[in-house]
Structures are given as C-alpha cells and as structure tokens.
Structure 1
Amino acid sequence: MNEKNKKTLLVVDDDQDIRLLLCDALSQKGYCVLEAETGEQMWSHLQQTQVDLLLMDLYLREEDGLHLAREVREHFSFPIMMLTGKGDETDRILGLELAADDYMMKPFNLRELAARIYALLRRSAQQVPSVENIVEAHECLYFGHWTLDLVARQLIHQKGEQVVLTLGEFSLLEALIHHPGRVFTREQLIDQSRGIESDVFDRTVDVLILRLRRKIESNPKTPEFIKTQRGLGYFFQGPVRKR
C-alpha cells in the first residue's frame, strides 16, 4: 500500500496483549496502527492525527467505553468498531445505539475482523467537502428543512448545521428516502442498507431508527418523517424532492 494512502486505525484497549496482537496483525495488512490504553491517550491521538477508523473495547478498566465512543461520535464521523468479551445481546444493542458502526465479540477471528474493517473503510472512503461547499453536481434529496447529499453522504439542515450520521444511519435513511410511502420490513431494510453489517438482528434496525429520529425529527416521539407501520415495519413520509 502506498505510504501516502495508508489508512490510520486507532486501537483503544486496556489489555496490552490485545493491543499488541491487533497492532501487529493490522500493520501486516498495510494499515498505520496507533494504540491507546486510556481515554486520555485516545484523545491525544485524535487531536494530533487524522484517524480513519476507531477500534474500541466496550469494557475498559477505569473508564466506560460506551461513554467514550459516544463522545467521539459527537465530534467525528469515521467508522467505530466495538469489541467486547461479553456475549450479552444488550451490550451490542447499547454499543450500536450510542455510536458504533459494527461490533465483534472476543475472542475474534483476525481474518474476519480485517474483512469487516476493510468493508467499513471502503464504505466511508470519500472526500467530504465543507458544509459551505456542497458540489452543485451532487445528487441531493430534500425533505422538510433537510438536504441529504448522496455523494458527500452529508445531512444538512437549511440553517447550515451538519448532522453526523454513522454508516448504518446514513444507509438506512437513504434506503427509506428513496421510496417515500413504501413500507419496509426490518429484514428488507437490512438488505437495502449497505451500512448495516452482517450478523445483525431485528433490534439493530429499531435502534438505528431511534437514533435517526433523535437527529432529524422535531419530536422523536411523534415523528414527521420516519413512521412506524404497526406489525409491518417502517416507511418514510414525504414529500421528497430532488435537485
């Protein structure tokens, strides 16, 4: 891999053996790998280096990995993959609800982990322009006071505020908004959404819908755009306009 084109990964884990294993394995795959044992070290890296993907343990000894991931998501849009040694499905739901784009259990298969990292990076690879300079040629969809730039993968309010969406959130919104009025089952949304990784479950879709509503609806409890069709699934209520 060309040195200039190397992707930078940041591994946050308080287990030194896991950090060394990941740094060695991912470096051999051609990535530049940084490591952090604590949240303080993580923020130091993020302030000094452009990171392309964060790989974080949910359970750090002295800190709450979920809280750290949520703080990162408030400032950065790069993919976040979470790792945990516990098999409780609730942990996975919490991770996805707060910030994560994907999730893997320990012990993990290094080949599968590398494949998932590659998939996340491939989906997020883009040159994101500033909010003030949306390229005129970009395909955009408009609903309410929002603009969804399908090329830059940005959601922008008419006041100029950009809302950070994870890969899963963007892909789910894109699938819904392309077919206003059409009811999708959870299984259909998983098939349509490129940002939702494999080995998912129905609850994942519900969590992503909840996150999207919090970001785009004036009142998430009585949504204007993303509607629930009881017993069937979800649909997007238009109108939706194109440029």
Structure 2
Amino acid sequence: MFTNTHLLVVDDHQDIRDPLAAYLRRHGARVSTAVDADVARALLLQQAFDLIVLDIMLPGESGLSLCKHVYEEIGTPVILLTAMASAANRVAGLETGADDYVVKPFDPSELVARIRTVLRRLQRAEVGIARPTLPVKRYGFDNWTLDLEKRELLSPAGESIPLKTSEYRLLRVLVENPHTVFTRDQLLDMTTEGFTHSFDRSIDTQVSRLRKKLESDPRRPHLLKTAWGNGYFFTSDVKVLA
C-alpha cells in the first residue's frame, strides 16, 4: 500500500487514465489526473507530486517534452507509458529524464511494483549518501561553497549558481568523497531513481552540466575529471566550513 503518496497520471485516453487512477487509489495513493501536458503543467504549478505516470503520445505537447521539463525544472520522478516497445524509443524516453518505461498494454500490478521501486530508490538516494558523523552544513573547495541546507552552490565570486536536483545530488556525492573514482553505475545508484542502470551514459549528461557550472573551461576540466574506462572523480581537497 502507498502511504502519503501523491501521484499524477497524465493520459489522454479516459479508458486508461480513470481505471488506472482508481486502481492506484485502491492501493492507498492520492491520485490526480490530467488529459494533456497543459493540464499537467497547471497541476505541477499548484501541487507537489511524488511521481508522475506519463503517456508519451499526448495531444499537443508530447509526453517526452513534458518529461524533459519535469526532469530539468522540477525533479519529480517520471514513469513513461507508451505503445512503442523498441529499444530506440526506450532510450529516447530515458534520455529525456524518465526513471522507468512501461509498454502498453500493461498489467497494473506491474506498474504499481515499478512505482514502488522508483520511490524506494528515491528514498535511498536521499538518505544513502555517505556523510560524516557530525552534521555538516557547508563544504568548501577551490574557493567554491556548497551549502547543504540551502542546496546552494556559491562561486568564488559569491554568485549563487542554480542547481537542479540531479546536479545537486551528483555534486554532493563527489564533494563528500573527493579523490575517489566512481563508476557510472555507482554514481547512478547514489544519485538517481529508477531503472537507469542499463543506460549508464545518462550520468555523462549530468557531469557535462556540472562542468559547465564549475569549470572555467569545461573541455579541460580540473575539478571533475574523467577516469578513462572507469568513471569520474573529484580532484579538489574539500573542507568542512562552519
């Protein structure tokens, strides 16, 4: 049973949307529904959701476009629904930021299991990052500051650099484990939710975005370096700030 879980189901087919919402409610979830991306965007401005079940083939704005917006601007996990089962379509969906992909027709019990898994991985990502024994509020590295309470990155000039949820999680893992080489799979396990382990190149996108914010020349990074054939590591010494 879902407890205190608010789900958003976005599908233009009423014969799928309404029965699915009813099924999820029977499992204890609070469920809102939307017939297209415009309605979904309006709901996302008004309420917070724990997860979005999103059909790809929507009238007007596509589900992939909405998924990309959610991934980049909100951070809510997304499970895509689609009738397209090819590997290329799955990759396209996951590359927009989706956490999982379910092909129609589907068994509602399978979708429930996948929702639980995504939410469980999200919870683990939030609490599973290695932390020092004493609570830490801020880290300093190379004249940068990462404020954990505010989830804020301050540049050497004191400028606040916006971080999306995925970027914050990745940077925090690296800052709390400097000089440690992590494989892509390890970084995905510690920073993401969902079945993304088979598409480990998605972590490269997050690294690229962080480099653009941290590095004076992202093509020649000196803070977030590549361990060729292995993954990535953070080169700077890190201090705990008062």
TM over 0.5: yes
Deviations 1:59-111 (A, max 9, x none): 32432222122223343232222222223333333333333233333333433
- Pick closer, same or farther for the CA change 1:59–1:80 going to 2, 3 Å: same
Q: Which amino acid counterpart does residue 164 of structure 1 have in structure 2?
A: K
Preserved CA contact (<8 Å) 1:217 1:224: no
- The equivalent of 1:209 in structure 2 is 204
Cα distance between partner residues in 1 of 2:230 and 2:48:
42
Cα distance between partner residues in 1 of 2:168 and 2:91:
18
Deviations 1:193-232 (A, max 9, x none): 262434631xx32222212321444454333433222223
Q: Work out whether 1:29 is the aligned partner of 2:24.
A: no
Q: How does 1:2-41 map to 2 (within 5 A)?
A: 6-41=4-39
Deviations 1:14-63 (A, max 9, x none): 22222123201211111111111111111222233332322212232432
SS in 2 for 1:163: coil
SS in 2 for 1:180: coil
- Pick closer, same or farther for the CA change 1:37–1:6 going to 2, 3 Å: same
Q: How does 1:58-207 map to 2 (within 5 A)?
A: 58-122=56-120, 124=122, 137-144=135-142, 145-147=144-146, 149=148, 154-158=151-155, 159-166=159-166, 172-190=170-188, 192-193=189-190, 195-198=192-195, 200-201=197-198, 204-207=199-202
Aligned residues: 226
Q: Which amino acid counterpart does residue 160 of structure 1 have in structure 2?
A: S
Q: Which amino acid counterpart does residue 39 of structure 1 have in structure 2?
A: A
- Pick closer, same or farther for the CA change 1:213–1:34 going to 2, 3 Å: same
- Pick closer, same or farther for the CA change 1:101–1:141 going to 2, 3 Å: farther
- Rg (Cα) greater in structure: 2
SS in 1 for 2:179: coil
Preserved CA contact (<8 Å) 1:79 1:100: yes
Contiguous gaps of at least 5 residues in structure 1: 129-135
Cα distance between partner residues in 1 of 2:102 and 2:93:
11
Contiguous gaps of at least 5 residues in structure 2: 127-133
Task: Using the TM superposition, give the Cα deviation of residue 124 of structure 1 relative to its aligned residue in structure 2, in angstroms.
Answer: 4.9
Cα distance between partner residues in 1 of 2:94 and 2:214:
20
Q: Which amino acid counterpart does residue 56 of structure 1 have in structure 2?
A: L
SS in 1 for 2:64: helix
- Pick closer, same or farther for the CA change 1:49–1:172 going to 2, 3 Å: closer
CA RMSD of aligned residues (A): 3.4
Preserved CA contact (<8 Å) 2:184 2:231: yes
Cα distance between partner residues in 2 of 1:157 and 1:57:
38
SS in 2 for 1:193: helix
